[in-house]
Structures are given as C-alpha cells and as structure tokens.
Amino acid sequence: MNIGVFASGRGSNFQAILNAIQRGILPARVTLLLSNRFDAGALEVARSNGIPTIHISQKQFSDEASLAARMLEVLKEHDVHLIALAGYLKKIPTAVVRAYRNRILNIHPALLPSFGGPGMYGHHVHEAVLASGVKLSGATVHIVDEEYDRGPIVIQRTVPVDEHDTPETLAAKVLKIEHEIYPQALKAFAENRVLMKEGSVWIHSHN
C-alpha cells in the first residue's frame, strides 16, 4: 500500500508512521509527503528519509478546482493508494475526497464526535476538553468525508484527564497514543482488514 501523507506541522505522527514501516510492523510505503506550508517540520522528516515532498497551497491557485486537479495529478504521479492526514490543517478539496472515497484517514486529538469541527485543532481542542470537565479524552482515527472531523471512526483510544492537567500535559498524553493508533489503523487498511457496514467501520483482528 502506498501512502501519501499530508501535514502542516512538525510531523511527529508522520515520523511514527515511518517508524512502524521501518520496524516491519506496517506493510506500506510512504511515496509522498505533501504540505501546504513550505516551512513545515514534516518536510524535513521526509527529506531525511528520502521521501519525495511537494508544497501545494491554495494560494498558488485561483480556485479550489485547480488546487484539486493539481493534488490529484501529484497523487497519481506518486501512485498514492491511501492518504493519511497527519496534522494537516486545510480542508481537502471535494474532488479529492470523491476520488479517494474511504481512502483518506485523519487523526484527531480528542474523542470524536466531541471536540471536533472547524477551529478545533491543536491547543484549542485540549482547552475545550479541560473546560468541559470530562474525565476522559483520547485520540480518534477516522475516515475523511466532506465535513470536518465527521467521517466514520476507525480507531479510538482514551487517556484519563486528571485535575493537574494543562492543555500541554493533556496534549502530550494524547500525542503518545496518536503515535500508537495511527500506524495500527493504517496497518488494518494495508492488510485489508477493514470492513464498512452501514456507514460504520470495523477492523478484523486477522485476515
């Protein structure tokens, strides 16, 4: 399975995916790292691993259709089968969602469908979790559809919220499990163990 990773930030989830591949846990290759930011740390991670990079931003195009066309062209050039959003902060153009239906994954640093949607990224998520008083947070891997953070859930794992948590300590706890469940979810796709039934996703433990 060829994975195209989209990232806007430092790329620690991208690094976790690469680690799983290098350890032989995840039977896949990353054939492309796409970023909307020319200064994303994820680009450096790609370069030091010999992975092709591309910087594509809406600013380079007059409209969404031309951005989508360029993305699809690049995805084809790199023979990408599945797209993994790893801290990618832009909306995926509708034409790309359609072309890669059920083949785009995202990782979100909370238990969706709570604490998701537009504006819910980075520290905003953890601040909202702490302000709500919930006692559990966690991470969610889900399929990307036309709406922000709303597609079918693939894997979730929880972390406890405790009274001493700050947005920073909670983010660190959540990030640790993100690095575990994202490679797991991708492994299930790579091994064809993912079943979609009535809009829900189920992972089989064996083939």
Q: How far is the CB of 87 from ligand GRF (least distance, A)?
A: 3
When binding is defined by CB under 6 A, the residue of 93, 109, 116, 151 that contacts ligand GRF is 109
Q: Please give the positions annotated as active site.
A: 108
Site string for ligand GRF, 26-65 (x = CB under 6 A): ----------------------------------------
Q: Residue 202's closest CA among 158, 146, 150, 143?
A: 143
Q: Which long-range contacts (CB under 8 A, 24 or more apart) does 53-60 make?
A: 58/90
**Mode of pairing for the β-strands spanning 2-6 and 53-55:** unpaired
Q: Applying CB under 6 A, does 116 fall inside the site for ligand GRF?
A: no
Q: Which is nearer to ligand GRF, 9 or 151 (CB)?
A: 9
Q: Do 136 and 106 meet the contact criterion of CB atoms below 8 Å apart? A: no
| Stretch of 7-15, 21-29, 146-154, 196-204 contacting ligand GRF, by CB under 6 A | 7-15
Q: Do 124 and 158 meet the contact criterion of CB atoms below 8 Å apart? A: no
Which single residue brings its beta carbon nearest to ligand GRF? 87
Q: Which is nearer to ligand GRF, 12 or 53 (CB)?
A: 12
Q: Residue 86's closest CA among 156, 138, 26, 30?
A: 30
When binding is defined by CB under 6 A, the residue of 130, 134, 175, 194 that contacts ligand GRF is 175
| Stretch of 3-11, 47-55, 112-120, 144-152 contacting ligand GRF, by CB under 6 A | 3-11
- Residue 96: in which H helix or E strand, if any? helix 94-99
Q: Do 107 and 86 meet the contact criterion of CB atoms below 8 Å apart? A: yes
Q: Applying CB under 6 A, does 12 fall inside the site for ligand GRF?
A: yes
Q: Which is nearer to ligand GRF, 118 or 206 (CB)?
A: 118
Which amino acid is it at 49? N
SS3 73: helix
Q: Applying CB under 6 A, does 11 fall inside the site for ligand GRF?
A: yes
Residue for token pair 């509708």: 94
When binding is defined by CB under 6 A, the residue of 108, 126, 142, 173 that contacts ligand GRF is 108
DSSP letter for 59, please: G
Give the footprint of ligand GRF on this chain (CB under 6 A): 7, 9-13, 86-87, 107-109, 175, 178
